[in-house]
């Protein structure tokens, strides 16, 4: 599975650089060929079939990524400076204090007094902070649009490429206000919009300032109120991953749900006669996790985390022995196949590297330092420290390459921040959100309590960022330096296995399958 994941991601990178027009039959042909070789390898277990499978997966990645890139970069609009168009809202708008933005899929545009077909994704900015606009609504607007600009940044972050991964080919600014032509008719979408609006209004009525920004980011995935100062503070502190619903939040939410559901399942012993409790717990946890992803507005980072957790929980259901590296590679294959441009998405790259650090480094730290420890509290701290160090080590080269900053504070701050967010802030956000939907008048006290604890986190981040200049510094490595850094990490991690394979000596070293950080 590791070879397949590497081949698919390499193929998608090649396809993005050398894209070609949308030929649907090539996609279907490559999928059929890859599926045939996969079943042939499962049936025969021959190495030559595996070699052909790896090549076929590379070609498949090349084709699907090339087609996706061509689709996302295509923009069909009339050749006029000011566009008057109808468009469908692709995602819940990002609402700020005085200005907002919405990702739109063009339907029609006015040309010489009549509407003609238009296509492509655009990000339009507009004045105001109206939250009534929802995903799936059809609106009319007027304004200029053009290719996105590449902003100067300390690192190598490419804003147009970032927009391309989201299906955005152009940006613009609306003149005046938009008009809602048709509201979303789907019952499910309307229910989600109603829940998001109700939670947002309840939080805004009880919290303000930076705590409100953090709470809305955790509750409904709305990061519009997060200003640049807050982003810089969290980035310098090494905890910027807290600001976006991603693998950390979805994983912690899944852990809470798994614990609660396991206790509820044990109340019905008749269910446990034929199957163990973990089977039912995993089955019920999957839809609950996706409910959280849905409420967050299906951000791509949360969707990827949901897919990864679904793969892991599905392995428990079908009695697969849990191998975290295989689970990660399987998740990467599924995610890249569904979202071919994920391989160039910065958040996806950093998420994979963080999990890879947990899989490869954390077990080794536990093996060397926790093997003889019997104190439960010390083991708990060591697990948190090993997880934080493992994730930070693997993410640091990529973070420096894309954003031009190296932060050392994350090694230590995350030991306290991750459990604080996971066991204090996030549960309060979830309980307050549920109370807002059921008992809106009684949720005010819960939101104020949530704002208090969220404010403590933002205060600590500002304090460390302002007083701990020696914990971070500006540095932007080249692509070759990043590759060399990961090559050195791989050599350090697997040197024991290489020595053992060369000498034939059975060296005692932790394996990924048996280590559980």
Is 80 exceeded by the pLDDT of residue 20?
Answer: no
- pLDDT higher than threshold 50 for residue 509: no
Axis crossing angle, helix 376-403 with helix 362-369, rounded to the nearest 10: 140
Tokens of 473: 């510094």
| Least trusted range by pLDDT, from 2-16, 304-318, 464-478, 491-505 | 491-505
Cα–Cα distance, 225 to 213 (Å, whole number): 5
Task: Name the residue among 120, 73, 89, 69 with its Cα closest to residue 297.
Answer: 89
Q: What is the pLDDT of residue 416?
A: 82
Q: What is the pLDDT of residue 511?
A: 42
Taking 60 as the threshold, does the pLDDT of residue 460 lie above it?
yes
Burial of 470 (0-12, 13-18, 19+ CB in 10 A): exposed
Give residue 23's pLDDT band: very low, low, confident or very high (50, 70, 90).
low
pLDDT band with cut points at 50, 70 and 90 for residue 275: confident
| Predicted pLDDT of residue 500 | 62
For residue 91, pLDDT beyond 50: yes
**pLDDT score of 508:** 45
Answer whether residue 348 shows pLDDT above 70: yes
In CATH, which of 2.40.50.140, 3.20.10.10, 1.10.443.10, 1.10.287.80 is domain 83-185? 2.40.50.140
Mean confidence (pLDDT) of the chain: 81
Q: Which residues contact 365 (CB under 8 A, 6 or more apart)?
A: 382, 385, 386, 389, 390, 517
The string over 67-76, giving b where at least 16 C-beta atoms fall within 10 Å of a residue's C-beta and e elsewhere, is bbbbbbbebe
Average pLDDT of span 262-277: 79
Instruction: State the Cα–Cα distance between residues 257 and 260, nearest whole angstrom.
Output: 5
Distance separating alpha carbons of residues 490 and 495, to the nearest angstrom: 8
Tokens of 225: 């109120």
pLDDT confidence bin for 452, thresholds 50/70/90:
very high
| CA-wise closest residue to 368 among 382, 354, 355 | 382
Provide the residue ranges of all domains of the chain, joining segments of one domain with +.
2-72, 83-185, 228-496
First-to-last alpha carbon distance for the chain, in angstroms, is 22
The reported pLDDT for the residue numbered 62 is 85
For the residues 285-306, what does the mean pLDDT come to?
A: 82
Residue with the bigger pLDDT between 384 and 64: it is 64
pLDDT given at position 453: 92
Whether pLDDT at 261 is above 60: yes
- Overall average pLDDT of the 33-49 stretch: 81
């Amino acid at each position: 599975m590791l070879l397949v994941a590497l081949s698919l991601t390499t193929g998608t990178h090649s396809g993005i650089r050398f894209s070609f027009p949308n030929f649907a039959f090539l996609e279907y042909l490559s999928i059929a060929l890859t599926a045939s070789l996969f079943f042939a390898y499962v049936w025969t277990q021959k190495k030559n079939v595996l070699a052909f499978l790896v090549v076929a997966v590379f070609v498949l990645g090349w084709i699907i990524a090339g087609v996706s890139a061509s689709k996302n970069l295509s923009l069909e609009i009339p050749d006029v400076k000011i566009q008057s168009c109808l468009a469908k809202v692709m995602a819940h708008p990002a609402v700020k204090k005085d200005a907002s933005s919405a990702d739109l899929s063009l339907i029609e545009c006015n040309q010489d007094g009549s509407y003609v077909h238009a296509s492509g994704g655009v990000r339009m900015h507009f004045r105001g902070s109206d939250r009534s606009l929802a995903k799936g609504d059809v609106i009319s607007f007027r304004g200029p649009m053009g290719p996105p600009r590449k902003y100067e940044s300390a690192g190598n972050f490419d804003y147009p490429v970032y927009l391309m991964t989201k299906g955005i080919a152009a940006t613009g600014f609306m003149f005046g206000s938009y008009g809602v032509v048709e509201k979303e008719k789907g019952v499910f979408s309307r229910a989600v919009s109603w829940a998001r609006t109700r939670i947002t209004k309840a939080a805004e009525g009880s919290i303000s300032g930076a705590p409100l920004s953090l709470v809305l980011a955790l509750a409904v995935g709305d990061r519009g109120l997060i200003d640049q100062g807050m982003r810089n503070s969290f980035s310098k502190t090494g905890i910027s991953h807290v600001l976006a619903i991603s693998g950390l939040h979805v994983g912690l939410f899944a852990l809470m749900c798994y614990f609660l559901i396991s206790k509820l399942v044990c109340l019905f012993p008749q269910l446990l006669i034929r199957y163990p409790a973990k089977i039912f717990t995993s089955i019920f946890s999957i839809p609950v996790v996706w409910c959280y992803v849905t409420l967050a507005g299906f951000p791509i980072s949360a969707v990827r985390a949901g897919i990864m957790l679904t793969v892991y929980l599905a392995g428990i259901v079908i009695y697969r022995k849990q191998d975290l590296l295989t689970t990660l590679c399987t998740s990467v294959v599924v995610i890249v196949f569904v979202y071919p441009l994920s391989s160039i998405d910065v958040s996806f790259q950093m998420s994979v590297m963080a999990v890879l650090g947990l899989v490869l480094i954390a077990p080794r730290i536990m093996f060397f330092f926790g093997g003889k420890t019997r104190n439960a509290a010390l083991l708990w701290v060591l697990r948190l420290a090993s997880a934080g160090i493992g994730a930070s080590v693997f993410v640091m080269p990529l973070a420096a390459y894309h954003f031009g900053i190296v932060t050392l504070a994350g090694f230590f701050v995350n030991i306290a921040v991750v459990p604080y967010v996971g066991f204090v802030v996030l549960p309060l956000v979830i309980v307050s959100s549920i109370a807002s939907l059921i008992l809106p008048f009684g949720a005010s006290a819960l939101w104020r309590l949530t704002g208090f604890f969220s404010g403590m986190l933002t205060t600590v981040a500002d304090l460390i960022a302002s007083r701990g200049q020696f914990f971070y510094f500006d540095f932007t490595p080249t692509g070759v330096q990043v590759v060399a850094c990961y090559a050195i990490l791989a050599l350090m991690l697997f040197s024991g296995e290489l020595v053992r394979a060369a000498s034939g000596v059975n060296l005692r070293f932790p394996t990924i399958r048996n280590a559980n950080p």
